């Protein structure tokens, strides 16, 4: 028992646990939808895109902590742009994501370069690789509020969203506003990702979105079951990875990803039996 209680006696570990659980649960639920829509890379793409928003914020003179408020509208705009290209051309989701992602990253670098020489230099690394062990109480509050809101919105729209994403043509015929729901999904994914990047970093965000959703998908026979499995795997992986990384003295984010991956491998083995 000490193996679990000892690391969690530290306040920063508790905050890491809460943040990890919140982000993994909301990412797993969103992940089921975006992976189905062929947008598995949206997490990765938007996580990089938010760098552009942060850089614009810095250029306009905000400090690093508050630049996230600039990153949210910017990333939402990029997400809607991806949705627009997706709907109005024959290019696929991966192309739309990739084009916008490299553009916003380039924009970020340009804006960082345009800042006057007198401005305080920023550590780009800290912008890109948030650390789950360094979540401040204020950031934790934001994470909890955003995750809860996104979760509530998704659950309220659950059945219509599922209809629109899994069978868009039939849904459109039955009068479901497919386009609006898709934009809503993309927009709220963007908000969740900006906040998640701030807490857990870019690569961990992608893995939170893709791996639990994929694992839930291959085991779950219905959408509800797949989602519940995804949530369980996401949350368990975050908690286990956090504790394990403490004992093994290895980077936490990487340990969580490897735990998720192990869960996926087990799910794969179970589904093949």
Closest CA to 201 of 262, 135, 137, 266: 135
**Segment near another protein (CB under 8 A), from 36-44, 130-138, 173-181, 185-193?**
36-44
User: Using the rule CB under 8 A, is 268 a contact of another protein?
Assistant: yes
User: Using the rule CB under 8 A, is 258 a contact of another protein?
Assistant: yes
The first and second tokens of residue 15, run together, are 């905050």
Residue by residue, DSSP assigns 218-263 as: HH-SSHHHHHHHHHHHHHHHHHHHHHHHHHHTS-HHHHHHHHHHHH
User: Using the rule CB under 8 A, is 122 a contact of another protein?
Assistant: no
Position among 16, 25, 107, 230 found at the interface with another protein (CB under 8 A): 107
CA dist 127 and 118 (Å) reads 20
Binding mask 212-241 for another protein (x = CB under 8 A): -xx--xx-----------------------
Closest separation in Å from C-beta 217 to another protein:
6
User: Using the rule CB under 8 A, is 126 a contact of another protein?
Assistant: no
Which residues touch 239 (CB under 8 Å, ≥6 apart)? 17, 20, 21
Position among 8, 80, 85, 142 found at the interface with another protein (CB under 8 A): 85
Please report, for residues 41, 210, 230, 259, 263, the alpha-carbon distance to residue 266 in angstroms, rounded to integers and kept in the order given: 23, 16, 13, 11, 5
User: Using the rule CB under 8 A, is 210 a contact of another protein?
Assistant: yes
212 neighbors 31 (Cβ within 8 angstroms): yes
Which residues touch 170 (CB under 8 Å, ≥6 apart)? 163
Closest separation in Å from C-beta 136 to another protein:
23
User: Using the rule CB under 8 A, is 270 a contact of another protein?
Assistant: no
Position among 41, 59, 74, 246 found at the interface with another protein (CB under 8 A): 41
User: Using the rule CB under 8 A, is 211 a contact of another protein?
Assistant: yes
**Segment near another protein (CB under 8 A), from 44-52, 133-141, 155-163, 180-188?**
44-52
Closest CA to 43 of 26, 68, 66: 26
Q: Footprint of another protein on residues 13-32 (CB under 8 A)? A: none
| DSSP symbol at 121 | P
Q: Footprint of another protein on residues 171-200 (CB under 8 A)? A: none
Position among 60, 106, 173, 266 found at the interface with another protein (CB under 8 A): 106
Half-sphere exposure of 63 (CA within 13 A, CB side): 1
Closest separation in Å from C-beta 131 to another protein:
12
Q: Which is nearer to another protein, 9 or 273 (CB)?
A: 273
The length of the chain, given as a count of residues: 273
Which residues touch 243 (CB under 8 Å, ≥6 apart)? 3, 4, 7, 8
**Residues that bind another protein in the complex, under the rule CB under 8 A:** 35, 38-41, 43-45, 48, 85, 88-95, 97-99, 101-103, 105-107, 109-110, 113-114, 124-125, 128, 203-204, 206-207, 209-211, 213-214, 217-218, 250-251, 253-255, 257-258, 261, 264, 268, 271-272
């Amino acid at each position: 028992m000490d193996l679990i209680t000892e690391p969690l006696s530290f306040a920063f570990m508790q905050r890491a646990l809460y943040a990890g659980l919140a982000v993994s649960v909301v990412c797993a639920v969103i992940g089921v939808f975006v992976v189905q829509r062929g947008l598995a890379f949206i997490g990765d793409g938007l996580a990089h895109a938010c760098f552009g928003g942060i850089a614009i914020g810095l250029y306009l003179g905000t400090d690093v902590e508050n630049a996230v408020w600039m990153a949210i509208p910017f990333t939402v705009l990029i997400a809607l742009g991806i949705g627009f290209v997706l709907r109005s051309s024959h290019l696929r989701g991966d192309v739309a994501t990739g084009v916008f992602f490299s553009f916003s990253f380039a924009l970020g670098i340009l804006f960082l370069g345009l800042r006057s020489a007198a401005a305080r230099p920023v550590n780009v690394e800290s912008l890109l690789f948030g650390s789950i062990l360094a979540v401040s109480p204020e950031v934790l509050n934001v994470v909890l509020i955003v995750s809860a809101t996104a979760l509530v919105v998704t659950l309220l729209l659950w059945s219509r969203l599922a209809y629109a994403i899994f069978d868009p043509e039939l849904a459109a015929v039955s009068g479901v506003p497919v386009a609006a729901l898709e934009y809503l999904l993309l927009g709220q994914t963007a908000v969740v990702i900006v906040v998640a990047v701030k807490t857990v970093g870019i690569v961990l965000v992608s893995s939170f979105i893709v791996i639990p959703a994929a694992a839930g998908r291959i085991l779950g026979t219905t959408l509800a079951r797949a989602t519940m499995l995804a949530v369980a795997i996401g949350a368990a992986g975050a908690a286990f990875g956090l504790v394990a990384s403490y004992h093994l003295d290895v980077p936490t984010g990487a340990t969580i990803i490897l735990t998720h991956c192990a869960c996926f491998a087990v799910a794969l083995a179970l589904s093949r039996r």
